[in-house]
Structure 1
Amino acid sequence: MNVAHDSAQHRPLRTNRWRRRTLGGYRYVRLRWRLLFGCIDAVGGLIFALARWLVHPLRRHRSEAEPRRILLVQLDHLGDAILTTGMFGPLKQRFPQAQIDVLAAPWNCDVFASVAEVDRVDVCRHVRFAPGRSLAWIPATVIWGLRLRKRRYDLAIDVRGEFPHNLLVWLSGARRRLGWASGGGGFLLTDKPEFVVNRSETQSRAALLACLGISRAEPLRPLFRPSDAAIETATHAWNEIESASERTRIVLHVGAGTPAKRWPAEHWRRLVEHLAAESEYAVALVGTSADTPTARAILGASTSPDAVDWTGRFGIDELAAVVKQADLLVGADSGPAHLAAAVGTPVVVLFSGTNSPGQWQPCGLRVCTLRSETPCSPCHRKTCPIGEHPCMRRIQPADVIRSLTGLLPERLDAATTGTSSTNTKGSVS
């Protein structure tokens, strides 16, 4: 696509001046944050260098011992947490005697509770990514760091790579602290791999493991195992749709983490109308309770028993079971898309211009991403300042229909032989 225009204001879209530039190795888009953490790291690095010089040489090498207690910190989004699940198997193989604990957010703790290698999950109720932007996360970060200090961790890993998280793992007192310096606070860490722009998140997690001597030829595969109770709940839910077991089950996740990632409701409506008109499909709309008004608007006055609203009905464990029993999921770049890939369900991901599909595409066997390129991408915004929201509006229902029919199991089996994965990217004009 050459030049895109804002039809509402009749002016060309502004090219993103911050397109993946970095300063001093920082991954922040805005200059003020790069300058701020550049100053913090310069001062902090000097202080810590002097402190290390004063420490007795014998104490400097204590972190070389095999860890007996490992802490992993994951206080951000659901999709990020799902991508992290692939780390625990290799971590446990490398340190089989170690206890592995996780400090999680309220919305992603169920992900780690499903991981067999995780021994304990603590939940931090006040985190920076919580809705409402309360500043309670600031004292909570310090309190949790000091609370964890009593457990005497040998190794602490932060996957996110931001200053507050690096501060938390330092306050935990862990002898070895592994994370990213690209978000600021690198002087608080003992091990920090190089930050690579636009590298996939699974490869970045593999880079963290490589610092611990864990190398893998195969990519890290996120996994989620729904509980037996969740599977039973999902089975009952699908049985509510007449003859669902005999038809192709499609889950539509109509929500998103930010307004900038949302697909227009009218596009969803047209997609649902097309699928409901075909007797071979059973369609379920999912999301949080906040997505219920959107789901109702999408379904409108439809009385079709083949399309149902399940928004706000399921927790993460139950949603994973619902998606696992489906034939395909369609959704925005959000947690449920990663969840679908983790349970082995084909997924069509509708990517906005917020960030890079190469970095954030779900890691699964059958994943298709759709995106409309715009000059303002990647914008890293939560809301689109352009009236027509071009990056999402230009992804048409017809594009989605073509993609999902190509990913459906029976069509995939007929079209491919001896192929273990199908990962495609679509460009929409």
Structure 2
Amino acid sequence: MVDKQRESAVIAPGWLDGKAMLAAIKPTLKKAVRQLEKAGRKAVFAALSAAAGRRQEVSVTALQEVSRIIVIRPNYRIGNAILSTAIIAPLQERFPGATIDFLVTDKTASLFANLPIGHITTVSRSVMRQPWRALPIVRQLRARRYDLAVQLAPSSLSGLVVSTLVGARYIMGKPKGSAAWYDITVTDPIVHAYDVGTAFSRTLGTICPANTCLAISDKERMRALGQFQAMGLETDGDGNPDAFVAVFVGGHADKVCPVSFWLALINDLNRTGKRFVVFVGPEEKAMIPRLQQALATLPLGSLCPPQPLRLFAAMLAQARVMVTPDSGPMHMAAALGVPVVMMLQAQKSMGFVPPCAGSRVVPNLNVSQVLVAVDGHYNDNAADATTNVMEADWPRVKASDRQISDSSMSVEMAL
């Protein structure tokens, strides 16, 4: 086979194709940039530690009159946004009646709709790249005079900076190493992604489960059912779709599964009589032609092209079980109480497996093991026996703490 990349590098004796040369050295450049970024972040963290000195640690039980709280998690990954919702219930328990605001990104803001929180302040990618554009946002946050700022990510430089600038009376977080950045320091180890909510909950002294949450409204549910009907899925007398397996073919970097695996999986799902819906994300559009070709001969399968995030969540909530690589939608499914079968492509993904009873991990792209895992959920009502709080349960939660109307939640877009 001809190495086209190597062949295109030389267009004439003594002349080099600059584009091909750049492609050849791109991995090396990326590695160098990552190393520089890591060194830069380390230097900034060290400088912040030196400038801030040591904060006087305060006991959570000593905090008085905490009525306005802001949770800081400006990260673009869907999974990290979902994971941050685990702090809501512990904060409600520790500070009943307090308003809990969130600082997130414009990409993930919609995930917080219908949750019992106050203002959602958003930052855009341009603000992240040009920090001086964040000054108006910082002024707005300072004007709200927060009593407590909660910085959830130990390794987030932007989160650390914002939590310092927001001007809250107290700051809570988990520092790197022995740094004394916060008034309330989280000391529990955080090894797994889902340890964050538990670690912060223990520091707060709360006993409620630190579960992630994603709330679907009745209107969103009806829209999802309409989408299923348009796709040709069979429904029961109440309009609910028959049991189906959600197959999400997305993923990031080394977590992506090859198209050949997905084709083999959906073929076997069809062969074993299981209805399934293949969900494609915006970054996987190139897979659609091959998936469409395969689904033309698989009567139990349907293809769902990229959807708005809220509609996708409402559709995912109807699934009996989800097959996915380590991905943001995996955490959405877990928050919705949908059992997850995770395809293990990278060992580091073990640190992100949802710790719910329905989670299963399948290594080595083993289709037969996936089918066994799916069988454990497909023919029962596991999807109806969720332990996560859905919107139907929010009124009970609100009644015990505070009342929030739909109109009290505002979304501020950073332009």
User: Which interval holds the TM-score relative to the shorter structure?
Assistant: 0.7 to 0.9
- The structure-2 alpha-carbon separation of the partners of 1:114 and 1:365, relative to structure 1 and needing over 3 Å to count, comes to farther
Where does structure 2 lack aligned partners over 5 or more consecutive residues? 1-33, 389-415
TM alignment of 1:109-148, pairs within 5 A: 109-116=109-116, 118-126=117-125, 135-136=129-130, 138-148=131-141
Q: Secondary structure at the match of 1:410?
A: coil
- For the structure 1 residues 205 and 348, does the alpha-carbon distance in structure 2 shift closer, same or farther, using more than 3 Å as the test? same
Pick from 399, 410, 415: which aligns with 2:369? 399
* Aligned alpha-carbon RMSD (Å): 3.3
Structure 1 counterpart of 2:243, one-letter code:
T
Change (3 A) 1:320 1:409: farther
The CA deviation at 1:153 is 0.7
Describe how 1:296-315 pairs up with structure 2 within 5 A.
296-303=289-296, 304-313=298-307, 315=308
Paired with 2:290 and 2:177, the residues of 1 have a C-alpha distance of: 40
Distance 2:92 2:371 in 1: 41
- Does the CA-based 8 Å contact 1:266-1:298 persist in structure 2? no
Secondary structure of 2:49's counterpart equals: helix
Q: Give the structure 2 partner of residue 91 of structure 1.
A: 91
Structure 2 Cα separation of the partners of residues 355 and 288 of structure 1: 22
| Alpha-carbon offset, residue 204 of structure 1 | 2.1
Q: Please name the residue that 2:197 is paired with.
A: 205
Q: Determine helix, strand or coil for the equivalent of 1:366.
A: coil
Q: Deviations over 1:97-119 (max 9, x none)?
A: 21111111123212212212x01
Tell me: CA distance 1:353–1:316, structure 2 relative to 1, closer, same or farther (3 Å): same
Counterparts in 2 of 1:320 and 1:44: CA distance versus 1, 3 Å? closer
2:121 partner SS:
strand
Residue 170 of structure 1 corresponds to 164
For the residue of structure 2 that corresponds to 1:318, the secondary structure is: helix
Q: 1:189 aligns with which of 171, 182, 186?
A: 182
Identity of paired residues, percent? 21
Q: Give, in angstroms, the shift of residue 270 of structure 1.
A: 0.8
1:311 Cα shift? 2.2
Match of 1:243 in 2: 234
Structure 1 partner of 2:211: 221
User: 2:103·2:121 contact (CA, 8 Å) conserved in 1?
Assistant: yes
TM-score by length of 1: 0.71
Aligned position for 1:316 = 309
Whole-Å Cα distance in 2 between the matches of residues 145 and 363 of structure 1? 36
Tell me the CA shift for residue 187 of structure 1: 4.7
How far does residue 210 in structure 1 lie from its aligned partner after superposition?
3.0
Matched, 1:368 2:360: yes
Figure out how many residues of one structure are paired with residues of the other and give that number.
Answer: 343
AA of the residue aligned to 2:215: R
Greater helix proportion: 2
1:331 alignment partner in structure 2: 324
CA distance in 2, matches of 1:42, 1:86: 29
1:351-366 matches, cutoff 5 A: 351-353=344-346, 355-357=348-350, 359-366=351-358
Q: Closer, same or farther in 2 for the Cα pair 1:210/1:33, shift >3 Å?
A: farther
Residue by residue over 1:242-294, the C-alpha shift from the partner in whole angstroms, topping out at 9 and shown as x without a partner, is 435575311111111x221111111001111122234x322211132332221
Alignment match, 1:67: 66
- Look up the match of 1:230: 220
**CA deviations over 1:156-187 (Å, ceiling 9, x no partner):** 11212212210011111111111232299x55
Aligned partner of residue 380 in structure 2, secondary structure: helix
Residues 120 and 44 of structure 1: CA distance in aligned 2, closer, same or farther (over 3 Å): closer
DSSP 3-state at the match of 2:263: helix
Partner secondary structure for residue 362 of structure 1: coil
Whole-Å separation in 1 of the counterparts to 2:162 and 2:234 = 51
By how many angstroms is 1:330 displaced? 0.6
Question: Could you say which residue in structure 1 is the equivalent of 2:396?
Answer: none
- CA drift of 1:410 comes to 2.8
- Distance, in Å, in 2 between the alignment partners of 1:406 and 1:153 is 47
Q: What runs of 5+ residues in structure 1 fail to find an aligned partner? A: 1-29, 54-60, 129-133, 372-393, 422-429
Q: Is the 8 A contact 1:327 1:346 kept in 2?
A: yes
Structure 1 residue 277 corresponds to structure 2 residue 271:
yes
Counterpart residue type for residue 231 of structure 1: R
Q: How far does residue 203 in structure 1 lie from its aligned partner after superposition?
A: 2.5
> Structure 1 residues 255, 367: CA separation in 2 closer, same or farther (over 3 Å shift)?
same
Report if the CA contact (8 A) 1:244-1:282 is conserved. Answer: no
Deviates more, 1:261-270 or 1:225-234: 225-234
* Aligned residue type for 1:92: Q
* Aligned CA distance change for structure 1 residues 412 and 242 (closer, same or farther; 3 Å): closer
Q: Say which SS state the counterpart of residue 168 (structure 1) adopts.
A: helix
